[in-house]
């Protein structure tokens, strides 16, 4: 029993593509119907005010199949919209009140408009409740929680919406999630039933002084060394 649980845990760390940065996606992005992107460390440094110039070209190339799927607070999502709305939509999953259903908060590519969609995780359905919960960029209620990765709901909801709106046409879509962290990004992809690409963190050293010490310790002492070992073990245990 313990071994079975351990193997299923290790499989959450399966990495399908090990990349230096987003540019490596140019070799295989067309194999996927949809690509979800982490923001911090993947598109730029932590809370960077603009995308890293090294990844702008690839982001533009893959933009019609990709979206930012983040873990951040709503105020940061507004900043992501301000930086990326020309190229990609951006979403987070939050809760209002203690027992309520999760809600997808989403800034749309192009228009930059805020949408709010109630998500029913057990059936994978979404209901647009924007007019009830938001006006312009403002929410009527403050979210009481964020459903953070590795919780797979935010990624599953974004894919379900893309299917519903015809942006994904394949019957069994092939979905990739790209991020720099093993314990959140890679696990989120696997728990959602999709594929994972891991990139090396952008700005890890150059932005170190701007990072909070707990982020640095988590990154260098926990996520990177232990995640890398579990990812190699996942290769052994995965028939994929
Ligand atoms: Mg990241």
Q: How far is the CA of 39 from the centre of ligand 1 (A)?
A: 6
Domain boundaries, the chain: 20-202
Contact 84, 112 (CB under 8 A): no
pTM for the full model? 0.94
Please give the CATH number for the structural domain made up of 20-202.
Answer: 3.40.50
List, in sequence order, every residue forming a beta bridge with 34; answer none if it has no partner: 175
Interatomic CA distance for residues 24 and 20, integer angstroms: 7
pLDDT per residue, tens digit, the chain (240 aa), is 788 899 999 999 999 999 999 999 999 999 999 999 999 999 988 788 888 899 999 999 999 999 999 999 999 999 999 999 999 999 999 999 876 899 999 999 999 999 999 999 999 999 999 999 999 999 999 999 999 999 999 999 999 999 999 999 998 999 999 999 999 999 999 999 999 999 999 875 545 555 677 777 888 889 999 999 999 999 998 865
For ligand 1, a single-atom ion, the residues with CB < 5 A are 38, 40-41, 180
Helix (H, G, I), strand (E, B) or coil at 201: coil
- 193-202 residues labelled b (16+ CB within 10 A) or e (exposed): ebbbbbbebb
Interatomic CA distance for residues 214 and 203, integer angstroms: 16
Interatomic CA distance for residues 238 and 11, integer angstroms: 7
């Amino acid at each position: 029993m313990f071994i079975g649980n351990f193997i299923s845990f290790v499989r959450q760390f399966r990495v399908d593509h090990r990349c230096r940065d987003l540019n490596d996606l140019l070799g295989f992005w067309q194999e996927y119907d949809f690509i979800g992107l982490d923001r911090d460390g993947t598109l730029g440094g932590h809370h960077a005010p603009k995308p890293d110039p090294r990844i702008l070209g690839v982001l533009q190339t893959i933009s019609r199949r990709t979206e930012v799927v983040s873990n951040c607070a709503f105020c940061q999502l507004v900043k992501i919209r301000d930086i990326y709305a020309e190229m990609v939509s951006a979403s987070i999953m939050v809760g209002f009140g203690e027992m309520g259903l999760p809600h997808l908060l989403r800034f749309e590519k192009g228009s930059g408009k805020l949408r709010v969609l109630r998500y029913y995780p057990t059936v994978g359905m979404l209901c647009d409740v924007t007019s009830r919960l938001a006006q312009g960029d403002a929410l009527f209620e403050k979210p009481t929680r964020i459903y953070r990765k590795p919780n797979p709901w935010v990624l599953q909801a974004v894919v379900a919406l893309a299917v519903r709106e015809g942006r994904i046409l394949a019957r069994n879509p092939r979905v990739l999630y790209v991020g720099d962290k093993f314990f959140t990004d890679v696990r989120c992809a696997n728990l959602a039933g999709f594929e994972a690409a891991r990139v090396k963190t952008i700005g890890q050293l150059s932005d170190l002084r701007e990072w909070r010490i707990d982020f640095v310790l988590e990154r260098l002492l926990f996520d990177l060394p232990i995640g890398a070992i579990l990812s190699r073990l996942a290769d052994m245990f995965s028939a994929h």
